[in-house]
């Protein structure tokens, strides 16, 4: 009996490929990039899950707004070793293990089979993107690895948006795409397989598509295939491609092998119109929303970062360089924090973000 995580291999949601040109079986022991393109409702997210099941560990990084990634918690899912990640200013009441973003480490993430920072577990905007970006940053710490960890990205444009937000407006879409391409390329070296699903698939640049080890094309609708992969019409009629059922897909492998794939829908996949939070009995209490960082304004998470970096011995100059801010705005924030602690016993910004230093003045060095 072969096990993948706690799953029995032969009981996994079925997935098969009939090779039409060359032969190129998918090697799930490698850090592969799967890019799944297709129309709304074409079965992309279900396939992201079916592929994920082939990997021992999964980070469901970008769930959709309806918390689709929480489907791993359903009784019908083969996984019960789950960590739910939430914002620092959010409390989760549920029967799964939970961790707030600031306590999360790579070691902790790797103790679980599935890590889910679900959409509703963060306050709007700033809180959510800070959480996702923290996980992305932690991924780089994996310098030694044997088996790949699978990262599910259920909507590629959310990834781009989060990077734009993180840089406080200092990054535009073009830079965010370049950053995403760089990230995809580098993640392989740190042992991450990626399953990327995107609905805005015509806006996925050729460069991004070329990076994938497996391009998976689901139902394309009347739009048809992008010109650079229209050679697929030598293997499937335009009519069939336009109306592929959600169980079917065309696959282009890295060695230009072409296959017609078939997969079942995982039993636990979220159906439309179902509220998983209610079904799973998860209740959420939100704290005060965090103020977002922009290029003009230091937001709450960035304030917390400044205080933490300074109290850990970093100089103004170093912090300014890391955060791409002026030295004076760094020192202003430290002074603002200390004045608030002295006058009101609490820094309201740190309090909002539930940071550890909220009631602690930070000794100013070198005076």
Asked if residue 10 binds ligand ATP (CB under 6 A), the reply is no
| CA pair distance 126, 94, nearest whole angstrom | 24
Contact 98, 85 (CB under 8 A): yes
Residue whose C-beta lies closest to Mg ion? 45
SS3 assignment, position 8: strand
Q: Which CB sits closer to ligand ATP, 271 or 285?
A: 271
Q: Which does 264 bind (CB under 5 to 8 A by kind): ligand ATP, Mg ion, none?
A: ligand ATP
75, two tokens = 């009784």
Q: Which does 238 bind (CB under 5 to 8 A by kind): Mg ion, ligand ATP, none?
A: none
What is the CA angle 337-343-345, rounded to 5? Answer: 75
Q: Which CB sits closer to Mg ion, 54 or 269?
A: 269
What is the CA angle 262-267-270, rounded to 5? Answer: 100
Give the pairing of strands 149-153 and 114-116. Answer: unpaired
98, two tokens = 């939970």
Q: Taking the complex as a whole, how short is the minimal distance between the CB of residue 312 and Mg ion, in angstroms?
A: 40
Give me the phi and psi of 363, to 5 degrees please. -60, 130
- The order of strands in the sheet holding 258-263 is 15-21, 258-263, 248-253, 214-217, 33-37, 192-198, 149-153, 57-62, 114-116, 82-86, 97-100
Q: Which does 263 bind (CB under 5 to 8 A by kind): Mg ion, ligand ATP, none?
A: ligand ATP
Contact 44, 261 (CB under 8 A): no
Asked if residue 263 binds ligand ATP (CB under 6 A), the reply is yes
Identify the residue among 106, 229, 242, 265 touching ligand ATP (CB under 6 A). 265
Identify the residue among 42, 45, 98, 166 touching Mg ion (CB under 5 A). 45
Q: Which does 198 bind (CB under 5 to 8 A by kind): ligand ATP, Mg ion, none?
A: none
Q: Taking the complex as a whole, how short is the minimal distance between the CB of residue 272 and ligand ATP, in angstroms?
A: 6
Q: Which CB sits closer to ligand ATP, 238 or 246?
A: 246
Q: Which CB sits closer to ligand ATP, 62 or 121?
A: 62
Asked if residue 158 binds Mg ion (CB under 5 A), the reply is no
Identify the residue among 221, 238, 243, 246 touching ligand ATP (CB under 6 A). 246
SS3 assignment, position 26: coil
Asked if residue 44 binds ligand ATP (CB under 6 A), the reply is yes
Q: Which CB sits closer to Mg ion, 199 or 290?
A: 199
Q: Which stretches of the chain bind ligand ATP, using CB under 6 A?
A: 38, 40-46, 199, 246-247, 263-265, 269, 271
């Amino acid at each position: 009996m072969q096990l993948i995580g706690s799953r029995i291999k032969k009981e996994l949601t079925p997935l098969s490929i009939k090779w039409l040109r060359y032969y190129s079986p998918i090697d799930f022991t490698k850090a592969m990039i799967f890019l799944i393109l297709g129309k709304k409702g074409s079965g992309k997210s279900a396939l992201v899950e079916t592929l994920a099941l082939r990997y021992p560990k999964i980070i469901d990084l970008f769930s959709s707004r309806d918390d689709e990634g929480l489907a791993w918690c359903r009784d019908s899912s083969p996984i019960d070793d789950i960590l739910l990640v939430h914002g620092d200013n959010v409390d989760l009441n549920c029967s799964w293990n939970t961790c707030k973003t600031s306590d999360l480490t790579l070691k902790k993430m790797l103790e679980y089979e599935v890590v889910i920072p679900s959409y509703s577990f963060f306050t709007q905007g700033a809180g959510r993107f800070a959480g996702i970006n923290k996980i992305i940053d932690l991924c780089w710490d994996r310098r030694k690895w044997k088996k790949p960890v699978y990262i599910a990205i259920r909507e590629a444009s959310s990834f781009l948006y989060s990077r734009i937000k993180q840089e406080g407006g200092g990054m535009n879409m073009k830079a965010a795409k370049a950053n995403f391409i760089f990230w995809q390329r580098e993640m392989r070296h740190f042992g991450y397989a990626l399953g990327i699903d995107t609905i805005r698939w015509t806006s996925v640049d050729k460069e991004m598509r070329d990076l994938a080890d497996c391009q998976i094309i689901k139902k394309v609708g009347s739009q048809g295939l992008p010109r650079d992969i229209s050679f697929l019409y030598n293997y499937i009629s335009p009519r069939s491609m336009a109306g592929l059922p959600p169980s079917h897909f065309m696959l282009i492998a890295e060695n230009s092998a072409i296959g017609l794939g078939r997969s079942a829908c995982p039993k636990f996949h979220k159906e439309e119109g179902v509220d998983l939070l209610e079904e799973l009995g998860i209740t959420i209490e939100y704290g005060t929303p965090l103020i977002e960082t922009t290029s003009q304004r230091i937001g709450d998470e960035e304030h917390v970062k400044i205080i933490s970096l300074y109290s850990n011995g970093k100089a103004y100059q170093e912090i300014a360089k890391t955060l791409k801010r002026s030295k004076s705005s760094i020192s202003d924030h430290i002074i603002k924090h200390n004045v608030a602690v002295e006058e009101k016993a609490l820094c309201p910004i740190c309090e909002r973000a539930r940071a550890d230093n909220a009631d602690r003045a930070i000794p100013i060095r070198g005076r």
